[in-house]
Amino acid sequence: MTQTLATAHGDLLLELGIDPAQTVAATHDGTAFLAGGPTRDVHTPIDDALLATIHDATPEQVEDCIVAAKTAFEAWRMVPAPERGQVVRAWGERLRDHKDALGKLVSLEMGKSLQEGLGEVQEIIDIVDMAVGQSRMLYGNTMHSERPHHRMYEQWHPLGVVGIVTAFNFPMAVYGWNAALALVCGDTVVWKPSEKTPLTAVALHKTLADVLLEHGHPGVATLVQGAAHPVGELLVRDDRVPLVSATGSCRMGRHVGKAVAERMGRTILELGGNNGILVTPSADLDLAVRAVLFGAVGTAGQRCTSTRRVFLHKDVRQQFQETLLKAYQQVTVGDPLDATNLMGPLIDADAVATFEAAVAEAEKQGAELLVGGKAMPELGSCYVQPTVFFVPGGPDAFPLAQDETFAPVLYLFEYEHADEAMAWHNGVRQGLSSAIFSNDLREAEEFLSARGSDCGIANVNIGTSGAEIGGAFGGEKDTGGGRESGSDSWKQYMRRQTNTINWGRDLPLAQGIEFSL
């Protein structure tokens, strides 16, 4: 079994420019992936098959990549933004050519279903399309001056080298969100992917590096493989990297935020989520059940937007719970490359141990196990059952409700009054995504009001997971406060400059100050 999967997908790796017999660590000169420091074996969570062996980057290679990105920035920032957009557009075409293979590789290396893997590649294609348009819309405002014969305006300039640190659960899409916008804004990028998904990083980076090389822009995008220490730490603490966009745990984000702030750099932090859904008496329960099911089970509960908590009004709790449990019985778990399976494995055995610890702790704290709760060793070392608990008494007496367990574990709560449900919903440290299911206009608008959901994303009659690229993505509180993807997120990758032009012959001062010699 161990050799079967790796052998079956050897051609897939070769199609994407990855030779499993070679080791890779870093690239700063187009598509040359260089051997480097200590080696690590890369296994698929599907059946533990060995896919490849890679090197981590050495400190010297990290330095080389930062220098290459800094050097490339000097020329790239002066390329007209629409022309930069055309290079990014060519990247999108390359992604379309390799979408199927890239999607399969995502499923193979980190375990999400094939449909989700393909969707992840499509998400990069979508953000690329948006970024191409944005390259002609890097707008600044004009302002009326209080001084005669003066004109004021603001403009946006490229910021510099952007460090991108990504997590395993979206090993391609989050890089795409950042890189597409950073590149059209005139920045260069250095990517430090998760050490758990190095092959998807190599494959995706190669599509971009090839395009940049073909257009005469080597060094604009560079890649360094390795763990947080020392590779990630070197990137985070380097003064030549004015912006670090980091996706991961709240613990990681606190460290990155502090380290970058100490050198007066900028951060975009997209951290943990503990996402809740309110189901009210007026809700379409069939719609709500389907949304909760995907939100809790999609990517095996390993999305930052995964649904963790559901607050059910007492009048609908029993009916909703019965329908949800029937739906859970239909969830097939297994090889994510098999389209008949709705849920694949967790990322590794450590994630399974975390799942088992959370189940045990939930029962210890008085939660009632409704379905699931066990590992599935008969399928492999990384599979678990999708799990649902009912928590009597509400979350105040259930400390585990404060934690984000990165696994398919869902907690149901019953509420009586809307204010109670809203307080419970907002009473966690994280603030990423949220939703309400209601056909009552006032309930929905209250949820979206300033005294409603305190999350960066608040939805009505759709779930917490599956955000579109057109809106800014990110959250509040321990989620970090950063924004990626759509809306005006592009501004984070640029520096604002206010300009005042005096086209008169006098030198009047602002605020009417007179200073005459």
- E strand residue ranges, 382-426: 387-390, 409-415
Per the structure block, which two tokens stand in for 385?
């059952």
Residue 311 β-bridge partners: 278, 413
270 is an active site residue: yes
CA 85, CA 180: separation in Å to the nearest integer? 9
**53, containing H or E segment:** strand 50-55
CA 126, CA 90: separation in Å to the nearest integer? 13
Interacting residues of 440 by C-beta distance below 8 A, sequence separation 6+: 280, 282
Are 486 and 470 within 8 A, CB to CB?
A: yes
CA 110, CA 336: separation in Å to the nearest integer? 10
Are 458 and 432 within 8 A, CB to CB?
A: no
- 372 Cα distance to chain centroid: 27
420 is an active site residue: no
Of 304, 414, 443, 455, which one is the catalytic site residue? 304
Interacting residues of 349 by C-beta distance below 8 A, sequence separation 6+: 381, 382
Are 53 and 8 within 8 A, CB to CB?
A: no
Match 């490229």 to its residue by tokens: 158
CA 380, CA 269: separation in Å to the nearest integer? 34
- Ramachandran category for residue 474: left, alpha or beta (phi over 0 → left; psi -120 to 50 → alpha): left
- 121 Cα distance to chain centroid: 13
Segments in 365-500 forming alpha helices (H): 418-426, 441-448
Segments in 143-297 forming alpha helices (H): 173-184, 198-214, 233-236, 250-262, 285-297
DSSP state of 246: E
CA 64, CA 352: separation in Å to the nearest integer? 37
Of 270, 404, 443, 484, which one is the catalytic site residue? 270
The catalytic residue positions are 270, 304
